[in-house]
Amino acid sequence: MVHSYHTPQHRHYDVVIIGGAMMGSSTAWFLKDNPDFKGRLLVIERDPTYANCSTSHTNSCIRLQFSEALNVRISQFGADFIKNLKRYMCNDERVPPLRIQNYGYMYLADNAAFADTLRANQKVQLAAGAGTRILTPDEIKREYPFYNVDDLVAGSINTVDEGYWDGITVFDWFRKSARERGAEYIANAVISMNKNKAGDHIESVVLATGEEIGCGQVVNASGPRGILTARMAGIEIPVEPRKRYTYIFSAEKPLDRELPLTIDPSGVHFRQDGKTTYLAGGHSAIDPAVDYDDFEMDHGLWQDHIWPHIAMRIPQFEAIKVTREWAGHYDYNVFDHNAILGPHTEVKNFIFLNGFSGHGLQQSPAMGRGTAEWLTYGAYQTLDLSPFHFERITAKKPFIEKAII
């Protein structure tokens, strides 16, 4: 990767965001949208092509089926933001209308214990205003005749604000609009940080080109490389880059209705993509942390694992053909599968935006808004996101999200 690096216009910024993809740009946009934030803002992005970041490899789905009410509310705000993007962007005529393709997520249970988990999650989701329904195998078959339900005990589905959305358009608008409102974006990489004598404050970040840039607050929006960015501040986070594979396939006999994002008990998931194309995702049985630049496909995975499970669940998918495939990285939180947000416990001007695992894209509006509030007021004004703070990790008190994909 060779980029011509840029020099920032100033030597000091009130906020420096490290990473300009979905999370960094959402935060930049919400900061610049708030008249109370009067500071100078720099977004530093090491790869302005965004070729290998998680945002470019995403499957771009949203769901309300989480086990934690706070995650349901975060996605509800995400859905509102997507559907009303133009209004949020001050009715800018250039912003296209967006919708959510609401085919829902269909979680399938093949044992009583998981069916109980789905029922327990449904209670949380209903209380938060989601419309989750628990279906018997017969009901699943009636609504979606293409599924093989022989081994199933129950299914769980919600078809409001749940399905596919055009994440890349939202990303483009976060970035474009933040820049137009005065956020300075540069192509450069942060390679180290300098702290004050007491070690509780980041005074400056050092760029790959050698400049030292003073900062009031620093935001770690570096995706899977967030681990390296945290280490520059002397901080360890329980996050790993984990490889996730995506396949686009066409079927000899396409289905007669939209395929929900189906979470098969095998762990494989698949959904409608285009009109007659589908998307499947999964990971290898051995799922270690990988190198930051390792995007190689696992060539046996489709043939030996993913395709057999799809064909077992939907016999009509006996004859399907992969037309495109890619590997991407989750910034996988091994501690409790939830985001890590807010300030570090000791280095108080170092702000996390990390560990989003497989649900960061839909969370970006709420997480960017909350982080911008924290940076402006030192407190949350809308959703209280403090359960995601780093304290829980030092206190060894996980905030577990059970519904992860």
Ligand X SMILES: Cc1cc2nc3c(=O)[nH]c(=O)nc-3n(C[C@H](O)[C@H](O)[C@H](O)COP(=O)(O)OP(=O)(O)OC[C@H]3O[C@@H](n4cnc5c(N)ncnc54)[C@H](O)[C@@H]3O)c2cc1C
| Structural contact between residues 189 and 210, judged by C-beta atoms closer than 8 angstroms | no
Q: Is 106 helix (H, G, I), strand (E, B) or coil?
A: strand
Neighbouring residues of 373: CB distance < 8 A, sequence distance ≥ 6:
30, 34, 379, 380, 381, 382
Considering only 361, 372, 375, 393, the residue that binds ligand X (CB under 6 A) is 361
Told to check if 403 binds ligand X by CB under 6 A, we report no
Q: Contact between 13 and ligand X (CB under 6 A)? A: no
Stretch that binds ligand X, among 5-13, 56-64, 117-125, 370-378 (CB under 6 A): 56-64
Q: Binding mask 317-356 vs ligand X (x if CB under 6 A, - otherwise)?
A: -----------xxx-------------------------x
Q: Rule CB under 6 A: say whether 230 interacts with ligand X.
A: no
The most distant pair of C-alpha atoms in the chain lies apart, rounded to whole Å, by: 67
From residue 179 to residue 208, the character string flagging contacts with ligand X as x (rule: CB under 6 A) and all else as - is ----------xx------------------
Candidates 2-10, 17-25, 144-152, 263-271; binding stretch for ligand X (CB under 6 A)? 17-25
10 Å Cβ neighbour count for 325? 15
Closest separation between CB of residue 14 and ligand X, Å?
18
Crossing angle (nearest 10°) for helices 167-180 and 22-33:
50
Question: Measured between alpha carbons, how far apart are the two ends of the chain, in Å?
Answer: 31
Confirm if 65 and 121 have CB atoms less than 8 A apart: yes
Determine which residue in the list 30, 31, 58, 162 makes contact with ligand X, applying CB under 6 A. 58
Closer residue to ligand X in complex, CB, 228/255: 228
Size of the site for ligand X (CB under 6 A): 38
Q: Does 50 help bind ligand X (rule: CB under 6 A)?
A: yes
Which amino acid does the sequence have at 366? A
Instruction: Give the CB-nearest residue to ligand X.
Output: 360
The nearer residue to ligand X, 134 or 228, going by C-beta atoms, is 228
Q: Does 44 bind ligand X (CB under 6 A)?
A: yes
45 touching ligand X, by CB under 6 A = yes
Q: Does 21 help bind ligand X (rule: CB under 6 A)?
A: yes
Least distance between ligand X and beta carbon 282 (Å): 10
User: Dihedral, CA atoms, 325, 330, 336, 341, nearest 10 degrees?
Assistant: -140
Instruction: Measure the CA–CA gap between 398 and 405, rounded to whole angstroms.
Output: 18
180, burial (CB in 10 Å: exposed 0-12, middle 13-18, buried 19+): exposed
Task: Kindly give, in sequence order, each residue whose CB lies less than 8 Å from that of residue 197, ignoring residues fewer than 6 positions away.
Answer: none
Least Å from the CB of residue 62 to ligand X: 6
Looking at the Cβ atoms of 149 and 213, the one nearer to ligand X is 213
Helices (H), 49-186: 69-83, 85-88, 112-127, 137-143, 167-180
Residues 237-256 touching ligand X, rule: CB under 6 A, are 244, 246
Q: Among 221, 233, 251, 268, indicate the residue that binds ligand X (CB under 6 A).
A: 221
Task: Tell me the H-state helices in 128-272.
Answer: 137-143, 167-180, 226-232
The region of 89-97, 218-226, 249-257, 393-401 touching ligand X under the rule CB under 6 A is 218-226
Residues 6+ apart with CB under 8 A from 126: 132
> One symbol per residue from 140 to 179: x for binding ligand X (CB under 6 A), - otherwise; what is it?
----------------------------------------
Nearest distance in Å: CB 116, ligand X: 26
Question: Hey, what long-range contacts does 135-144 have (CB within 8 A, 24 or more apart)?
Answer: 140/106, 140/108, 144/106, 144/257, 144/260
Report d(CA 114, CA 120) in Å as an integer.
Answer: 10
Question: What is the binding site for ligand X (CB under 6 A)?
Answer: 18-19, 21-24, 44-47, 50, 53-55, 57-61, 189-190, 221-225, 229, 244, 246, 328-330, 356, 358-362
